[in-house]
Amino acid sequence: MTNSSRKFLPMALATLFAGTAMAQVPPPKPASPPPPRPVVVSQPPSAVGVQQWQRQVDRQQTQNQQNQNAVREQMRQGNLDRQRANTTNPALLNQLDSADRSQQELYRARQEDANRRYQATPRTDPDTRRVEPAKPSSAGR
């Protein structure tokens, strides 16, 4: 026997045995279908639930807007403090002070506007489901 035939003979025998073993294995059965899912019926949201949800959304939007305004104000104040530290010119310091006052007024106006808008949204009485008028504000003075 040559070297190549010694390698060939075990390989041929292994292939032959694998082929006969596969011929004796029955074909796999098809998988059974998954069990049926339960049907979930949800109730449509009530008008009161929708209004409460909308009120929460409005409140969250107001808080987000106020947080954004506060971050803007902090960044502005930090920039202003750096500019003041690097300035020795009195005229420029007066100009920075004036700009600071007007920006603070703008910040307060933004915060008050957000509060006014939130308070001006009409509320619904859950018992009667009637819209109550918004609270009177002192904006008209």
Range of the domain at 100: 70-120
Burial 103-114 (b: 16+ CB within 10 A, else e): eeeebeebbeeb
132: helix, coil or strand?
strand
Number of domains in the chain: 1
Whether 139 maps to a domain, the answer reads: no
Residue 49 lies in a domain: no
Quote the DSSP letter at residue 88: -
Q: What is the pTM of this model?
A: 0.47
CA R_g for the chain: 39
3-state secondary structure at position 81: helix
Summarised one tens digit per residue, pLDDT across range 86-118 is 988 999 999 999 999 998 898 889 888 888 887
In a domain, 90, yes or no: yes
